């Protein structure tokens, strides 16, 4: 996808994969660079262009390129399905300047190594937990000192600890989009089909049950950029066999109006679920009292915003595990192994107290509750009601999350590292 017929003299190329990385890493860094530099496509006559290359990822939805187009930050976007063709024949995708910088922001770090070598560009990796290919990096931007300490000594001078990109999410978030007063509960069913097929019917029924216990509850559902309200309806309908086991259903989709800017879904039980369809939803999410969320990038985003949460993994629907990262997700996609993986997961967690949510992984302890197993909407509604009845507990979790988040400024620091790899005349 391209937005200009002419081409820049130098390109900054972001490499990324799934919807979580796009919304929490790619978009903020792109915005920061646009603020600091004259970049195409926003600066039409600039010699410096910003491009996005999406790489193969089993957890991607296939809609990432379309979501990124709406942000108007990139003068060229290469979908993941065309990545191998790009490596083999870059010229098929237009002119690539002789100079450039490849920035790794999600996926397998090796893809960005291959792309930077193929294009002859300099290379920087944002390393959240480990920098896997330091020899082929001009610079490494680390989330934490531990990443730098894991590097062989001869490569440590290439690494700077910039901090957690997620820490910047809460900056000015509350003031940007104030919510009406009320006890708001966020519903985050995920952004990938395997998670949505479980998360949507599960959370809609949970909302019905929670409203019955706390009639004043108001519900917010941020619609991921890679899905739509129509997709949500499909996951509640007969096309989704998992939905048959839940009581949730939507009787009507209400348009914006009566002073309300969003569409709303009215469930058959009379619950209003407000749809935020203009991502990112950081401003409104930061004002919620509690979030009910699937495991994944959602937990990192909520943690960065300081939003108390309950993390849900209903293992009675083992297909949800196909959307996981790492070896567990790969095994769960193999025919005949899904049921075995569910049993192994339960045994592993009981024995090793395994942590699944990003705040818990980061802290090395249980900061936010994880509910894994044959959980039900009735159980989760009761637990959510218990949390909402005790504001001091919510505040305690919120303070724990803020302590984990670290100081803001990582996006600006990473932008500085990217600029350091550009020719000086262009980065000034």
Asked whether residue 173 carries a pLDDT value surpassing 60, the answer given is no
**From edge to edge, which strands make up the β-sheet containing 122-127?**
76-78, 48-54, 10-16, 99-104, 122-127, 139-142, 159-161
What pairing do the DSSP bridges indicate for beta strands 290-294 and 309-314?
parallel
Asked whether residue 108 carries a pLDDT value surpassing 80, the answer given is yes
CB atoms within 10 A of CB 304: 27
Q: What angle do CA 314, 381, 255 make, to 5 degrees?
A: 95
Residues 323-373: tens digit of each pLDDT: 444 445 555 555 555 556 555 655 555 444 568 888 998 888 999 999 988
> In the predicted model, what is the mean pLDDT of the chain?
86
Residue 198, SS3 per DSSP: helix
Instruction: Compare 117 and 60 and report the one with higher pLDDT.
Output: 117
Structure tokens at 220: 């917010």
DSSP letters spanning 53-104: EE---TT--S-HHHHHHTTT--SEEE-GGGHHHHHH-GGGG----SEEEEEE
CA 362 from centre of chain: 16
pTM for the full model?
0.69
Residues 379-391: tens digit of each pLDDT: 999 999 999 999 9
Residues 407-427: tens digit of each pLDDT: 789 999 999 999 999 986 455
DSSP letters spanning 295-327: SSHHHHHHHHHT--EEEEEETTSGGGGGG--HH
d(CA 360, CA 364): 6
d(CA 396, CA 203): 24
Structure tokens at 350: 């009981």
DSSP 8-state assignment for residue 243? G
d(CA 195, CA 178): 29
Per-residue pLDDT at 340: 62
């Amino acid at each position: 996808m391209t937005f200009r017929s002419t081409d820049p003299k130098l390109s900054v190329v972001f490499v990324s994969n799934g919807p979580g990385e796009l919304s929490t890493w790619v978009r903020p860094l792109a915005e920061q660079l646009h603020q600091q530099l004259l970049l195409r496509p926003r600066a039409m006559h600039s010699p410096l262009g910003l491009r996005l290359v999406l790489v193969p990822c089993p957890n991607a939805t296939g809609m990432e390129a379309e979501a990124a187009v709406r942000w108007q930050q990139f003068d060229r976007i290469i979908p993941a399905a065309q990545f191998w063709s790009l490596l083999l024949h870059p010229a098929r995708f237009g002119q690539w300047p002789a100079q450039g910088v490849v920035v790794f922001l999600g996926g397998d770090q090796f893809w960005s190594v291959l792309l930077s070598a193929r294009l002859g560009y300099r290379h920087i990796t944002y390393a959240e937990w480990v920098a896997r290919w330091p020899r082929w990096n001009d610079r490494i931007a680390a989330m934490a000192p531990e990443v730098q300490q894991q590097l062989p000594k001869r490569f440590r001078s290439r690494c700077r600890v910039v901090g957690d990109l997620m820490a910047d999410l809460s900056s000015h978030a509350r003031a940007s989009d104030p919510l009406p007063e009320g006890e708001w509960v966020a519903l985050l069913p995920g952004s990938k089909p395997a998670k949505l097929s479980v998360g949507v019917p599960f959370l809609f029924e949970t909302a019905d049950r929670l409203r019955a216990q706390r009639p004043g509850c108001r519900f917010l559902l941020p619609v991921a950029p890679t899905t739509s309200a129509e997709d949500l309806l499909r996951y509640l309908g007969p096309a989704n066999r998992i939905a048959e086991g839940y009581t949730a259903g939507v009787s009507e989709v209400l348009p914006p109006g009566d002073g309300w800017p969003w569409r709303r879904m009215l469930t058959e039980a009379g619950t209003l679920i407000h749809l935020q369809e203009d991502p990112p939803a950081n401003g409104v999410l930061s004002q919620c009292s509690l979030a009910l969320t699937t495991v994944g990038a959602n937990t990192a985003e909520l943690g960065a915003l300081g939003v108390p949460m309950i993390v849900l993994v209903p293992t009675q629907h083992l297909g949800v595990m196909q959307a996981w990262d790492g070896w567990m997700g790969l095994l769960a996609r193999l025919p005949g192994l899904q049921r075995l993986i569910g049993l192994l997961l339960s045994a592993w967690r009981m024995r090793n107290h395994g942590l699944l949510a990003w705040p818990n992984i980061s802290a090395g302890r249980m900061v936010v509750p994880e509910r894994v197993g044959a959980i039900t909407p009735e159980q989760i509604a009761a637990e959510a009601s218990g949390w909402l009845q005790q504001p001091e507990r919510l505040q305690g979790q919120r303070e724990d999350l803020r302590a984990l988040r670290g100081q803001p400024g990582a996006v600006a620091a990473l932008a500085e590292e990217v600029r350091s790899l550009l020719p000086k005349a262009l980065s000034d």
